Amino acid sequence: MRSRVFHGLLVLLAVCAPLEAVQAFCGFYVASGESKLFNHKSQVVLVRDGDRTVMTMASDYEGDPKEFALVVPVPVVLKRGQIHVGDSSLVGKLDAYSAPRLVEYHDPDPCPVAGLTWGAPRSILSAKSMAEVSVSAERRLDQGVRIEARYEVDEYDVLILSADDSGSLLTWLRRHGYRVPEQASRVVASYLNQGMKFFVAKVDLRRRAARGLTQLRPLQIAYESSRFMLPVRLGMANSNGPQELFVYAVTRAGRVEAVNYRNLKLPETVEVPAFVKRDFSSVWRAAFDRLVDRNGMGVVYTEYAWILTTCDPCPSPPLTREEQKALGVWWLDDDPSVFVTRLHARYDRASFPEDLVLQTTADRTNFQCRVVVHNEWTGEARCENANAYRKSLPPRRAREATALAELTGWPLDRIRQSMGVNTAWLAAGESLTPYKAAAWWENLWK
DSSP conformation letters of 66-107: SSEEEEEEESS---GGGEEE--HHHHHHHHHHHS-EEEEEEP
What share of the chain has pLDDT > 90, as a percent? Answer: 50
Lowest mean pLDDT among 17-31, 39-53, 126-140, 418-432: 126-140
- Return the pLDDT at 125: 43
394-400-401-403 Cα dihedral, nearest 10 degrees = 140
pLDDT number for residue 315: 85
pLDDT of residue 338 exceeding 70, the answer is yes
Over residues 179-196, mean pLDDT = 85
pLDDT at position 142 is 62
Chain centroid offset of residue 196 CA: 25
What are the start-end ranges of the E strands in 178-267?
Answer: 178-179, 197-203, 219-224, 229-230, 243-251, 256-258, 262-265
Q: pLDDT confidence of 396, banded at 50, 70, 90? A: very high
Q: 144: phi > 0 → left, psi -120 to 50 → alpha, else beta; which?
A: left
Tell me what pLDDT residue 179 has. Answer: 72
Could you give the percent of the chain with pLDDT greater than 70?
75
Q: With bands split at pLDDT 50, 70 and 90, how would you rate the model's confidence at 150?
A: very high
DSSP character at residue 143 = T
pLDDT at 281: 87
Contact 209, 6 (CB under 8 A): no
pLDDT of 66 reads: 58
What b/e readout covers 341-356, taking b as 16+ CB neighbours within 10 angstroms?
bbbbbbbeeeebeebb
Q: Do 403 and 271 form a contact (C-beta atoms < 8 A)?
A: yes
Is the pLDDT at 151 greater than 90? The verdict is yes
**Which comes out higher in pLDDT, residue 7 or 185?**
185
Q: What is the pLDDT of residue 117?
A: 42
When pLDDT is averaged across residues 252-270 and rounded to a whole number, the result is 96
The model's pLDDT over 206-257, given as tens digits with 9 standing for 90+, comes to: 888 888 887 778 899 999 999 999 988 877 766 667 888 999 999 999 999 9
Residue range 32-49: mean pLDDT, rounded: 70
